[in-house]
Amino acid sequence: MNDSYLNFVNSPFGARLARSLGLPKPEVLHRYRADRPEFDGLVAIGAGREPHLLEALANLVTSIGVTSVAHESAGLWVPLANRHGLMTGRFEAAESGSHGKLTALLFDASGIEDSSQLEPLHGFFHDTLRSLGKCGRIIVLGRPPEACASPRQWTAQRALEGLTRSLGKEARRGITANLVYVEHGAENGIEATLRFFLSARSAYVSGQVVRIGVRAGADALSAFDWNQPLAGRRAVVTGAARGIGASIASVLAAEGAHVIGIDIPSARDALDSTMRQLNGTALAFDIAAPEASAQIAAALDEQGVDIVVHNAGITKDKTIAKMTDAAWQSVIDINLSAQERIDDALLAAGILRDGGRIIGVSSISGIAGNLGQTNYATSKAGVIGRVQSMAPHLRARGITINAVAPGFIETQMTAKIPLTIREAGRRMNSMSQGGQPVDVAQTIAWLAHPGSAGVSGQIVRVCGQSLIGA
């Protein structure tokens, strides 16, 4: 729960000592606080040839109320910003020595159609990266490669991944770098996602690639308030009594949702206490029980539900030669099969309403595999399959399904890992530290957001751009 090294090297004495010894100094990440402005500072805009997203970016900049400066690659920005009545200026290369003036770098690469047109990306980040402050944000915007008309365009757009991930590894200082592919026609659906990636809510999300598609069904977003986007919505969270589940419940409640927390009967007291603080509803069910999905459906039937977060999960680690059949079966069942049973029950009865959200919790182990976790990694890889397979099925009903894949998160579970392994897990990422439960919870809240209707079938890692992958 506590990274004492991070605290130490950010104390006055510790910082001096770390500097003199050449030790790594992980940045204290800025995280969302309701009492601080969510957006501020100066955003630099860059662009490749014929950018398609500047209008949408101008709307975003207007909505969140930041000041922008145009890099020379984005000559179209100044007149556009003027038309939107925005304060804007030009980014002067001479300023590039003055570190820390910018809070975000946004590059619109959507018009790049050939590998020979990638040069403006170099120009922009070459000129601006040193001016980006601590915990700054890098967002590259492109078109989904697989939807591109020509192989040349697909290739150039796919190349953006290598750039963005490299920038995340170079930038350090708590800076995140993410790539957002915007489908043709989805330009007006980018705001919720860009707000997430620009804000402190995405503190531990870096090196990710997210696709925004055209929303199924209605043209207009259902109305919502950016300050309470989940107001009037009902959210089920499994495993909500403690830890990451309680954090998810808390963040969804803060965004306005009524939370129905589910946990096993033995955790009833903790669940009741967590739900009482959030004005939520506690339901004690063991999701491993065959009858649980029907019971959960019955309990939710009358009022329905808008958001389902499958957070409940267990580990029973052993190498496979020493793993009992029961340890294998229970991990697969609780982490994967129970999600399938619950979703099927809620979907068949229409309890999960149209326009709803399903969010699973996968894991870096499900992506990369892990020693001693054949059961856990199999179940968490299955969660990825679940998301990818269900997304097209649910599209007609406007329901999205996605998963988060946490890396090293500081919890009671990870606190039990032996120190040297824990330290390796903590430091082997671009943030040089573990994440907090709230980082997972905020990512889930973005996926649950009514403005995220175009985000479905995706796996988003919350791992600080962990080195570990597949």
96-135 residues in contact with a second copy (CB under 8 A) are 96, 114-116, 118-119, 121-123, 125-126, 129-130
Shortest gap between Cβ of 345 and a second copy (angstroms)? 14
Size of the site for a second copy (CB under 8 A): 78
Residue 433 as a binder of a second copy (CB under 8 A): the answer is no
CB of residue 91 to a second copy, shortest distance in Å: 14
In the list 28, 254, 284, 468, the residue contacting a second copy (rule: CB under 8 A) is 468
Q: Give the separation between CA 189 and CA 166, rounded to whole angstroms.
A: 27
The answer to whether residue 421 forms part of the interface with a second copy (CB under 8 A) is no
Taking CB under 8 A as the criterion, the residue among 365, 400, 402, 432 binding a second copy is: 365
How far is residue 165's CA from residue 170's CA, in Å, rounded to a whole number? Answer: 9
- CB 130, min distance to a second copy, A: 5
Is the CB of 284 or the CB of 323 nearer to a second copy? 323
Q: Which stretch binds a second copy (CB under 8 A): 22-30, 39-47, 316-324, 448-456?
A: 316-324
**Residue 388 main-chain phi, psi, to 5 deg:** -70, -35
Both tokens assigned to 178: 């993410």
The interface with a second copy within residues 71-100 (CB under 8 A) comprises: 96
Tell the smallest beta-carbon distance from residue 96 to a second copy (Å).
Answer: 8
Which of 84, 169 has the CB closer to a second copy?
Answer: 169
32 catalytic per annotation:
no
Q: Which one of 88, 103, 110, 157 is in contact with a second copy (CB under 8 A)?
A: 157
Q: Restricting to residues 4-43, which ones interact with a second copy according to CB under 8 A?
A: none
**In the window 177-196, what residues touch a second copy (CB under 8 A)?**
none
Question: Tokens 């020693």 label which residue?
Answer: 371
Positions in 193-212 near a second copy (CB under 8 A): 207
Distance CA 182, CA 167 (A): 20
Positions 448 through 467 that interact with a second copy (CB under 8 A) = 467
**Residue whose entry in the numeric block shows the structure tokens 């009902």:** 234
Backbone angles phi, psi at 144, to 5 degrees: -60, 120
Among 40, 92, 146, 269, binds a second copy (CB under 8 A): 146
**367-406 positions binding a second copy, by CB under 8 A:** 367-382, 384-386, 388-390, 393
* Single-letter residue type at 5: Y
Q: Whole-number minimum distance, CB 379 to a second copy, in Å? A: 7
User: Measuring CA to CA, which residue among 190, 227, 224, 195 is closest to residue 65?
Assistant: 195
Minimum CB distance to a second copy smaller for 69 or for 81: 69
80 exposure class (CB count in 10 Å sphere: 0-12, 13-18, 19+):
buried
Distance, in Å, from the CA atom of 373 to the CA atom of 360, rounded to the nearest integer, reads: 19
Tell me which of 5, 181, 204, 376 is the catalytic residue: 376
Cβ neighbours, 10 Å, residue 221: 16
Figure out which of the listed residues 136, 145, 425, 437 binds a second copy, where binding follows CB under 8 A: 145
Six-digit token string for 452: 């995220």
Minimum CB distance to a second copy, residue 180 (Å):
16
* Residue closer to a second copy, measured from CB, 227 or 389: 389
Q: Pick one of 53, 69, 104, 148: the residue that binds a second copy (CB under 8 A).
A: 148
170 forms part of the interface with a second copy (CB under 8 A): yes
Q: Is 35 or 325 the residue whose CB approaches a second copy more closely? A: 325
Residue list 240-279, contact with a second copy (CB under 8 A): none
Q: Which residues pair with 357 in a beta bridge?
A: 307, 400
> Would you say 158 or 397 has its CB closer to a second copy?
158
Q: Which of 55, 72, 95, 161 binds a second copy (CB under 8 A)?
A: 161
57: Cβ contacts below 8 Å, ≥ 6 apart: 45, 106, 108, 141
CA–CA dist 398, 357 (Å, integer): 9
On whether the CB atoms of residues 364 and 405 are closer than 8 A, the answer is yes
Q: Which stretch binds a second copy (CB under 8 A): 42-50, 57-65, 166-174, 281-289?
A: 166-174
Long-range pairs for 194-199: beta carbons < 8 A, 24 or more residues apart? 194/60, 194/139, 195/38, 195/39, 195/60, 195/64, 195/226, 195/451, 196/442, 196/443, 196/446, 196/449, 197/137, 197/139, 198/39, 198/43, 198/64, 198/104, 198/137, 198/139, 199/32, 199/38, 199/39
- In the complex with a second copy, the residue whose CB is nearer, 118 or 294, is 118
Closest distance of CB 53 from a second copy, Å: 20
State the virtual CA torsion across 309, 36, 194, 192 in degrees, nearest 10: 50
Catalytically annotated residues: 376
